Structure 1
Amino acid sequence: MKKVEAIIQQEKLEELKVKMADSFEALGMTVSQVLGFGNQKGLKEFVRGQEIITTLLPKVKVSFVVLDEEVEEIISLILAICQTGEVGDGKIFVYNVEEAIRIRTGERGAQAI
């Protein structure tokens, strides 16, 4: 099992959620509001004539725990929806998951996800 975690632009969340639900019958998704910066280094705005530099930009972190054979398909779907070619599109991380346990039933492994 793998955990696929993507940090994406906020406006891409709804489309990603719909496409994931359409493409994968039994896929769970965890969503968190996060702040961060990378190559973009923040955003310069002017408020009442004053220059304001926001260094931490709002993003959304979505996480999926999936079977190994589904990882590439998930990554391809995230890229197809979230990639604009501009700085600030986000990142995708893939982690190994040693064990998954469904608390309600005690199921383990693939049955738990």
Structure 2
Amino acid sequence: MKLVIAIIQPTKLPDVKEALFSNNIRKMTVTNVIGCGQQAGYTENYRGNVVEVNLLKKIRIEVAVNDEFVQPTVDAITKGARTGKIGDGKIFILDLPRCIRIRTGEEGVEAVG
């Protein structure tokens, strides 16, 4: 079991969801986050003052999958989020040593589904 975490542009969320759904991956958690990477932010004028904006709005998607779904999940996220420009995001894959479905008490691959 793996936990796939992706940080993407907010505007690409519909495309990523569509790509995941087309790969039969429907379970996910989505969170609004702020952060910066290689983009390092930008400056803008606000009421006559120059303001440096270095924490940008992003979307964090978490998907717990069994091992056979890791690559289809990564492929779908990449397909949906890629623009070819700086700021497309990152994907992290972590080992998921244990998972428990609260409703039934199932554990492991059965709990992930």
TM-score (norm 2): 0.91
CA distance in 1, matches of 2:68, 2:42: 38
Runs of 4+ in 1 over 3 A off after TM superposition: none
* Equivalent pairs, count: 112
The match for 2:2 is: 2
Root mean square deviation, CA, Å: 1.3
1:45 Cα deviation from its structure 2 partner: 1.7
CA distance in 2, matches of 1:20, 1:39: 26
CA distance in 2, matches of 1:17, 1:65: 15
1:23 Cα deviation from its structure 2 partner: 1.9
Matches within 5 A, 1:16-95: 16-24=16-24, 27-95=26-94
1:28 Cα deviation from its structure 2 partner: 0.9
1:58 Cα deviation from its structure 2 partner: 0.7
Write the deviation string for residues 73-107 of structure 1: whole angstroms up to 9, x where unpaired. Answer: 11111111111111111110000001110001101
Q: Which deviates more, 54-63 or 77-86?
A: 77-86
Check conservation: 2:16, 2:79, Cα contact below 8 A. no
Matches within 5 A, 1:91-102: 91-102=90-101
Check conservation: 2:23, 2:72, Cα contact below 8 A. no
Question: Which secondary structure state, in structure 2, belongs to the residue aligned with residue 76 of structure 1?
Answer: helix
**In the alignment, structure 1 residue 109 sits paired with structure 2 residue 108:** yes
Check conservation: 1:43, 1:57, Cα contact below 8 A. no
